[in-house]
Amino acid sequence: MTKILIIGACGQLGIELTHNLKARYGDDAVIPSDIADKRNVYVDSVFEILDVLDNSNLKRILNYHQISQIYHLAAVLSARGENDPLFAWKLNMDGLLNVLEEARAEKIKRVYWPSSIAVFGPSTPKKMTPQETIANPNTVYGISKLAGERWCQYYHDKYDVDIRSLRYPGLIGWRSKPGGGTTDYAVDIYHKAIGEETFECFLKKDTILPMMYMDDAIRATVELMETDDKNIQVRSSYNISGMSFSPEQIYHSIKGFYPHFEMLYKPDYRQIIAKSWPESIDDTEAREQWGWAPKYDLPMMTEEMLKNLSRPVTAN
């Protein structure tokens, strides 16, 4: 029987994946865990408090619940990572190594770990960035994701751990608020529009970044995790692409619904991070090897975000 542990279940991605996987495999098949006691997010569910740096607790949870799959989502994101680089490195790197080691030792059947467009850097080709190219990240987050990709490949090749990974672009969803990312302006902007507040953007208006609507990201993750082993030829992490836009373009897509919505530009250190990342991603390998295809473009996403955020009660 499939029994899934979600590490970082109260984060932006964790909330969405837990919700989706419980609906898919059944409530009892998915055990959410997080560093903080946020069991109020999962009132009717078993919940474990887990600091992924604590490997004895990780081992206990894996054994106690007879876990067969792990989704390891706990990480410090790009912008926040720059405020405490050594902690970001420790959490992102040691956390992954603990999970990989336990997966090897406890013979966990399958592991998911997210990588990011942050593995790329200033001298990476910016448009339609290929799967294999120059990757010279200049954020601690990007460095940790790139090193993490190599460890994933290593554990797969050397110990046969079935690890699967996607290089997410900026993720945009309504169920949860993100924390500490450079692409997160594209989530906050919808909340400000709904609240009829002026939005202060920390990027310049023409800064184009690869982005993806959360429903596409969750579907990509589940499709990758459910595809047959033989389809997976990339064991570091797959490029995946959804859409690309600038702050000015998302602003105009929202203004179609909220004509009085105002936005100011106050670029800060996050502009430098954004400028070092690609504008668009070539995801040929994901499309050819396991059939990936995105559904949402910017107008569809804006409509969904505004519709869901303006409901009186949200899902969590």
Q: How far is CA 254 from CA 192, 216, 224, in A?
A: 11, 20, 32
Which segment (86-94, 110-118, 130-138, 190-198) binds ligand SER by CB under 6 A?
Answer: 110-118
Q: Is 207 in the site for ligand SER (CB under 6 A)?
A: no
Question: Cβ 50 to ligand SER, closest distance in Å?
Answer: 22
Question: Cβ 114 to ligand SER, closest distance in Å?
Answer: 8
Pairing assessment for the beta strands 209-213 and 243-245 based on DSSP bridges: antiparallel
Partners of 166 in the beta sheet? 238
Closer residue to ligand SER, CB minimum distance, 120 or 290: 120
Partners of 209 in the beta sheet? 245
3-state helix, strand, coil in the chain (%, to 5): 45, 15, 40
Question: Cβ 172 to ligand SER, closest distance in Å?
Answer: 9
The site that binds ligand SER (CB under 6 A) totals a number of residues, namely 11
**Per-residue b or e along 16-25, where b marks 16 or more CB atoms closer than 10 Å to that residue's CB:** bbbbbbbeee
Which segment (15-23, 87-95, 116-124, 285-293) binds ligand SER by CB under 6 A?
Answer: 116-124
Which of 33, 55, 69, 78 binds ligand SER (CB under 6 A)? It is 78
Catalytic (active-site) positions: 141
Mutual orientation of helices 247-255 and 298-309 as an angle, nearest 10°?
A: 60
Q: Is 168 in the site for ligand SER (CB under 6 A)?
A: yes
Question: Cβ 101 to ligand SER, closest distance in Å?
Answer: 24
Q: Is 190 in the site for ligand SER (CB under 6 A)?
A: no
Q: Is 182 in the site for ligand SER (CB under 6 A)?
A: yes
Question: Cβ 121 to ligand SER, closest distance in Å?
Answer: 13
Q: Is 129 in the site for ligand SER (CB under 6 A)?
A: no
CA distance 59 to 199: 45
Closer residue to ligand SER, CB minimum distance, 69 or 116: 116
CA distance 220 to 213: 11
CA distance 274 to 207: 7
Answer yes or no: are the C-beta atoms of 121 and 78 closer than 8 Å.
no
For 107, residues 6+ apart whose C-beta sits below 8 A from its C-beta are none
Q: Is 181 in the site for ligand SER (CB under 6 A)?
A: yes
Q: Which residue is nearest to ligand SER (CB)?
A: 181
Which of 33, 183, 237, 246 binds ligand SER (CB under 6 A)? It is 183
Question: Which stretches of the chain bind ligand SER, using CB under 6 A?
Answer: 77-78, 116-118, 141, 168, 170, 181-183
